[in-house]
Structure 1
Amino acid sequence: MHVALVHSGTIEGDWVECALGQLRHDVVRFFSLDALLRTVHQTSYDLVVLHNGLSRAHSLDALAVLRARQQHSVPLLVYGSTLDSGEIAKLLNGGADDYVDIPTGAAVFAARVTALLRRVYPASFQQTSFTIGNFEISPFRRVVEVCGEQADLTDTETRLVLLLFTNMDRTLSRNHIFALVWGRTTLQMTRTIDTHISRLRLKLGLHEENGVRLRAVYNVGYRLERVAHQGIDQLTDPMLSLALQA
């Protein structure tokens, strides 16, 4: 997962960054909220982790700004210390999805992060295969089938297509894709992503006839969308079925 961590340079922040790294998340660390906010229009994240080092009012303002500028589906985890139950409730009601009191055990912190991500991105944690259009995706086996035939993909193409299908109907930034598919935190040779996307379109038939649409989002990245077949939709529309029977 592509994680944004906002925390100044302290031992506590280092510990959280290390804990997220041990979970094999790609962590981008920011030393101020303003630094993060400068990126959110062109970069997508799977999780935002925010240190509660600001005053309570400023923390609530920060959550409101993040919710306004980020997609509402992106989970926000706040962590800190010495908060009473009333203050924690204000943070949760103000936009945070969870609060973790630090210090805590590494196992508990890891479990809380994983539980939050599993709720928001169930497809990424799915052990069994799932079907979208003419595609059957098996994340655990790392296999993609098109119309019952297994696709012949390279390791990089497999990582890319699994990332797209487990984030259906969600815009992924180039930085996001580059970090999770190529394992790099900064874009180099940006045409690499475009070349692989173009190749996947041809190899897998990522078009409306197969039930999906892969489109470029200007100045951001790519988005794989579900496309309903009109024939199927018509047959499942009860009002239309009655009209056809008449």
Structure 2
Amino acid sequence: MEKILIIDDDNELCELLTDYLTTEGLQVSCVHNGSDGARQAVEHYDLVILDVMLPGMNGFDVLRQVRQSSEVPVVMLTARGEDIDRIVGLELGADDYLPKPFNPRELVARIRAIQRRTDNRNQMDAPLRVGDLSLDPGGRQVRCHDTEIVLTSVEFSLLHMLLSHAGQVVSREDMVSQVLGRHLSPYDRSIDVHISSVRKKLGQTPSGRERIKTIRGVGYQYVATGCD
């Protein structure tokens, strides 16, 4: 991962992040409004850092437009305490979020976690098949009923993890650690939002059952016997 696009109208923050990320070996470009950001984000960038509050086209609208044609990882910047912004961003396809103000080291940690996830995804692991659902890690392709399902980077990694342990319970703590690259905090519902999105995209089994079962207080389980 080398090329980062920052979409934020705070010039001072952009300068600070550019200096900091450059020392980490990253190439950084900045855009200060949503319209230009939406156009540039679908170009050849490895990751986008996107602020919610932007002049003209806000961050949510930018993300909607980007997701129509690109799966580039997106980290959203939200106002501290605005939980609804985080949830909406994740539901629209953001990979992660950071509340402002934040420590640049935390942003680097999030970027590195996405980088590791991308590197692991590109390894030629054996394809997985459970019932009518197949997942090809090398080709980064998911098919259900022989129809391709488009997933974000986080969603793909979560489904890969669940299918690799089909029939077993995977804890939320392990998901947060292995997929998001951080420790689970008491009020972090990111994984739950991502799982909800995966459920919607996959739909139910032919017999009308949920594919991913919630194990209250523990985590989630891909129900192997339910894919008939």
TM bucket, shorter chain: 0.3 to 0.5
Of structures 1 and 2, the larger Rg is shown by 1
Structure 2 length-normalised TM: 0.47
